[in-house]
Structure 1
Amino acid sequence: MLKPFRQLFSAVLFSSLLSVFPGAHLAFGQTAASETSRDETVTRVIYLVRHAEKETGDPGERDPVLTEKGRRRAEALARVLRDARIERVYSTDYQRTRQTAAPVAERLGLPVELYDPRDLEGFASTLRTGPASVLVVGHSNTTPELVTQLGGEPGSDIRESHEYDRLYVLVLRGDETTTLLQRYGECQSCEEAY
């Protein structure tokens, strides 16, 4: 039952990228070229998400794991990004972010590389000159800030208590950044208007 939705989501995401930036098809593997270049004219597509749902039962736990719902969301992310030709997967050094990134990395045979959320400016610089397609898993406060550091539009604040379905797609080409905001997995805030 979810397969048609997944196909529709992938088609809408791909069409959105193409309508905003015609060269975005490179990140989705629509051509044979997949080489990574440090050239400033290379199109880079950076996918950014907050970690999936985490355990909240123990208020003293500083590094909680994902809930079952969070694990399902992480798997949904891997399905949504399966054709995105991701070359690197980045996460902060917390269980919840690493567990969110793991299904994507495992499907692609990639390691989950750690980044320091206290140096988003430096990390943004690395992303601007890095591979053509990457996934970054962060937190409700760091993900929108990283979007801003990359020249994107973060939109409204991520709702800390229940918003886990926001997927930023940033298309970078030279000094231009295009921001697409998507949703993935089970809807967390369908009752609320955006």
Structure 2
Amino acid sequence: MKIALATFALFLTQLVFAQNKTTTYYLIRHAEKADNSRNPDLSAAGTERAVNWNRIFAAIPFDAIYSTDYKRTLQTATPTAEKNKAQIILYNPQVLSFPDFKKSTSGKTVLIVGHSNTIPAFANQLIGKTIYNDIEDTVFGNLYIITVNGDSVTHQLLKLP
């Protein structure tokens, strides 16, 4: 009887933990751009920042890396994508279905690269509350980390130089 009860308790524990998959989102703005044209490349400082993001993320095994379809976001994501041997998945924040996105990334570790106005809005959608405002034009070091485990959502903003 004790063995059956212990087996049932173990099964129940595994069932509870299996349903509470942890999902972690890392969100960053693209690095510094070369100019103010519509679709600029990264500047030398931006290229250096993209490499630095890769160093910061070195110990994180990303399951998926998302970027908008602009040179500056793709170039920011590329070093980390190459390290993780991951294809960059393009997204359009204006038409993205957040329920579908959350479902498809459930249980994964995800990097999302976007823009000064889209990354805070994306973070707010993932959190389910309006917490973060647009990023100032001169700020490129914000790192938003959002962790979802079941109904529990935690978030933090790290401001890196």
**TM-score between the two structures when normalised by the length of structure 1:** 0.68
1:46 aligns with 2:22: no
Name the SS of the counterpart of 2:52 in structure 1.
Answer: helix
> Could you list the runs of 5+ residues in structure 1 that have no partner in the other structure?
1-38, 188-194
Distance of 2:150 and 2:44 partners within structure 1? 40
> Could you list the runs of 5+ residues in structure 2 that have no partner in the other structure?
1-17
Give matches, 1:126-141, under 5 Å. 126-130=101-105, 131-141=107-117
Q: Deviations over 1:31-59 (max 9, x none)?
A: xxxxxxxx651011100001000012xx4
- For 1:159, the equivalent position in structure 2 comes to 136
Distance of 1:43 and 1:51 partners within structure 2? 26
Name the SS of the counterpart of 1:150 in structure 2.
Answer: helix
Distance of 1:175 and 1:92 partners within structure 2? 28
Change (3 A) 1:40 1:117: farther
1:180 aligns with 2:156: yes
Shift of 1:181: 1.0
Q: Is the 8 A contact 1:124 1:150 kept in 2?
A: no
- For 2:10, the equivalent position in structure 1 comes to none
Q: Is the 8 A contact 2:47 2:75 kept in 1?
A: yes
Change (3 A) 1:91 1:123: farther
Shift of 1:69: 0.4
Percentage of identical aligned residues? 37
**TM-score between the two structures when normalised by the length of structure 2:** 0.81
Bigger CA radius of gyration: 2
Q: Which amino acid aligns with 1:166?
A: N
Q: Deviations over 1:86-132 (max 9, x none)?
A: 11110000000000000000111111110112124x14531344151
1:113 aligns with 2:89: yes
Give matches, 1:67-78, under 5 Å. 67-78=43-54
Picking from 84, 94, 101, the partner of 2:70 is 94
- The CA RMSD measured in Å over matched residues stands at 1.8
Aligned length: 142
